[in-house]
Each structure stands twice: as structure tokens, then as C-alpha cells.
Chains A and B, each alone.
Chain A
């Protein structure tokens, strides 16, 4: 286990790089996630790896921050956000976009199951096309996402068999997302602490199950900046355990829609309509 001072250095360094909060209770997580990195980088222990980080090895620090992130995801995770997209968001977009393609951003997309789930919905839905940009801090999960290759276990979590048949090709023991869906999603490295300007204004932003790992100050700043990237009619979707309440005034919960947020002026319009 790391000494208190080394743990403090590590948690401050990681927070600065990725926003991830490592409380003192996360000692087990640090050991289990950094041990493989220590091994592949040729260090005798996690402690030796942190020593090298403390000498100012920025590349190693970046790899450590990636290794400490949580990549848990699956197709159509939690279902509700995808139902909300199909039943509430898509009809609104069809009326406001006048034939333009929707712009959707999946922030912290991990290995791609979330953007590909959306791509499946869009393909099954007539009258709405979209460009999806999907970002994550971590290069290795993005490589997997771009390849669109999933194990038998992964394609059985959350995915109806009809969708497997319709949207995947089998290659031996693995399953590859169809080229049509791969074309709909662009994967890019992206850090939630860095400027969002390059993504442009979005119609919908998915940012689920990532802000729970950040402290209040970081959450508030990111939510403000996400609100800035939304079109006036745009929607933000957060994870089931996340909210904007008490963190920003730039976004409000959409009544009756769990996990869905919009700009206050858009909600006024909805109420008036």
C-alpha cells in the first residue's frame, strides 16, 4: 500500500489530469488498477510507479490517470435514457431541425456501447439523421470503440437479439458493429477538464455516470460548460445518480423525465406550448 503522502500526491495529480476524485477509501482501487500498469511499465510495485510520477514523468502520469478511470458500460445501459431519446427528444428534434442532421455528443463514451446504441435507435427511426461524436479520456477504450468489436459476453448485456442480428456481423467468437453504424459515430480523445469549443453546439449531450467521480466544484464547472455547448433547444442527459440541482442555474430538470435536463428558456417554451 502507498504511504499517506504518496497517496495524496497521486490523488492530486489524477484530479488535476482527469477530474477523478480518489478518496482515502479508494486504496484498493488504486492497487487493483495501477498494478497492471506498473507491471507493463516495468516497475516492481505501484509505489515505484508513483515514485516515478513524483519525479515529473508526465506521460506516465497521463497513463495512470487513464488506468484509474472506470470503463464500465453496456449497450442500452439503464434503458430509460434511450426510451427518453426515442419518445421525447427525437420528436422535438424532428420539428426544430428542418431536415438538418442532429448533432449528438457522447461525453465519456468508454468502449462505445452508448453511442452505438444511439446509432441503432437512429437507424431504426425514420426521419432523423445524426452525426454522433463520442469522446473519452482513455485511448485504449477508444481503439476498441473504433474497431466496434465486442465479445459474446458484451453483446448479451442489454442488447435484444433482434438488434444483434440486425446491426452486427459475426467474426469468429466476436461480433462487429455494422459499417453503417460505425460511419455514424466519430471517436475522439477528449478530457472533460479541457475546452469544449471544438465540438461546436450540440442538440443532445449524453454525459452519464462520470460526474459522480468528480468533486462538487468540478461538477459545477463542467455542467456550466456543457450548458454552453447546447443549442437553445438542446438536451443534456445525465446518469441516474447525477443531477444539476444545486450545481448550476444554466440547466433545469425536465419535469417527468428522469435524467433529462434543458436550458431554462427551453423549459419555458415547453410549458407555454
Chain B
């Protein structure tokens, strides 16, 4: 079974995202900030990562840059999922190595559409 790591400091968002990615056939793991996510990736690299931007300790963009520098760090498909909805944020994320970008608020349909876009479903 493919795995998806949901990285968000909001437990509510993680719960909503978990339901959606599980319905798409993924096993779901969770992390509350970028550092936690990076620690988890070093132990087990997931197939996909749903990534919030603004988080304490290490934000999503810092995490992404660190992830892509890791051994095997190019493997996960990274989908930003954030309220940072400006074009400038989107291009910054893409340059840092994001594969897709979801602007909050999101629903299951949008996540499924974006997963299809990057070939995950």
C-alpha cells in the first residue's frame, strides 16, 4: 500500500486530510511540523506528502528544501496544501521542488483531482 504523509499543525486539518487520502487508497501518516516530518521521512520515505506552509519549528517550504536534499528525497510527490494563495507563493513552492499546489479551502474532489494530475491515482 502506498503511503501519504500529512504535514499540518492543525489536528483538524490532519484528520480531514487523513479521511480523504485513505479514501484514495493510501496509508496515512501524520506530522505536526516540518521537523517532525523530516524525522519521519528519514526513517521511512512516503510516496506522497500533503504539506502545509505555515507551521511552528520548521515551515513547509524549509521542509521541502531539506527533503529534496536528502538521499531519496526526490522520490515523494509533494503537494502543498495551504492558505498562502498568491501566485508568488505558488511559483516559490514550484521552484523549491513542489509537484502540485492546493489552495485552501480544499475538499476531497480537489485532492483527488491533484493526485490524478501527478499520477498518484
Chain B residue at minimal CB-CB distance from A160: B117
Chain A residue at minimal CB-CB distance from B86: A170
B110 and A156 within 8 A (CB): yes
Q: How far is the CB of B80 from chain A (nearest CB, A)?
A: 9
Query: Is A162 an interface residue, CB under 8 A from the partner?
Result: yes
A158 and B113 within 8 A (CB): yes
Query: Is A89 an interface residue, CB under 8 A from the partner?
Result: no
- List residues 117-148 of chain A with CB under 8 A from any CB of chain B: none
- A162–B98 CA distance with the chains assembled, in angstroms: 11
B100 and A165 within 8 A (CB): no
Query: Is B1 an interface residue, CB under 8 A from the partner?
Result: no
Chain B residue at minimal CB-CB distance from A173: B85
- A156–B109 CA distance with the chains assembled, in angstroms: 9
Q: Chain B: how many interface residues by the 8 Å CB criterion?
A: 18
A156 and B114 within 8 A (CB): yes
Q: How many A-B residue pairs have CB under 8 A?
A: 33
A156 and B94 within 8 A (CB): no
Q: Chain A: how many interface residues by the 8 Å CB criterion?
A: 13
A161-B101, A162-B94, A165-B94 given as contacts; is B114 within 8 A of A170 (CB)? no
Residues of B contacting A159 in the complex (Cβ-Cβ under 8 angstroms):
117
B positions within 8 Å CB-CB of A: 85-87, 90-91, 94, 98, 100-103, 106, 109-110, 113-114, 116-117
- A79–B102 CA distance with the chains assembled, in angstroms: 19
A160 and B100 within 8 A (CB): yes
Residues of A contacting B100 in the complex (Cβ-Cβ under 8 angstroms):
160-161
- A79–B106 CA distance with the chains assembled, in angstroms: 21
3 smallest CB-CB distances across A and B, nearest first, come from A161-B101, A156-B110, A170-B87
A152-B85, A152-B103, A156-B102 given as contacts; is B113 within 8 A of A165 (CB)? no
Chain A residue at minimal CB-CB distance from B110: A156
Partner of B113, one of A157, A162, A170: A157
A positions within 8 Å CB-CB of B: 79, 152-153, 156-162, 164-165, 170
B90 and A165 within 8 A (CB): yes
**Could you pull out 15 A-B pairs where Cβ atoms are within 8 angstroms?**
A152-B85, A156-B106, A156-B114, A157-B110, A159-B117, A160-B100, A160-B117, A161-B90, A161-B101, A161-B117, A162-B94, A164-B90, A165-B87, A165-B90, A170-B86
Chain A residue at minimal CB-CB distance from B85: A152
Residues of A contacting B86 in the complex (Cβ-Cβ under 8 angstroms):
170
Chain A residue at minimal CB-CB distance from B104: A152
Residues of B contacting A152 in the complex (Cβ-Cβ under 8 angstroms):
85, 103
B87 and A156 within 8 A (CB): no
- A156–B111 CA distance with the chains assembled, in angstroms: 9
- A152–B87 CA distance with the chains assembled, in angstroms: 12
Residues of B contacting A162 in the complex (Cβ-Cβ under 8 angstroms):
94
Chain A residue at minimal CB-CB distance from B99: A161
Partner of A161, one of B94, B106, B109: B94
A161-B101, A165-B87 given; name 14 further pairs at CB < 8 Å: A79-B116, A152-B103, A153-B110, A156-B103, A156-B113, A157-B109, A157-B110, A159-B117, A160-B100, A161-B94, A161-B114, A161-B117, A165-B90, A170-B86
- A114–B114 CA distance with the chains assembled, in angstroms: 18
Residues of B contacting A153 in the complex (Cβ-Cβ under 8 angstroms):
110
Residues of B contacting A157 in the complex (Cβ-Cβ under 8 angstroms):
109-110, 113
Residues of A contacting B106 in the complex (Cβ-Cβ under 8 angstroms):
156
Residues of A contacting B87 in the complex (Cβ-Cβ under 8 angstroms):
165, 170
Residues of A contacting B102 in the complex (Cβ-Cβ under 8 angstroms):
156
Residue of A152, A153, A161, A162 with highest tally of chain B CB at under 10 A = A161
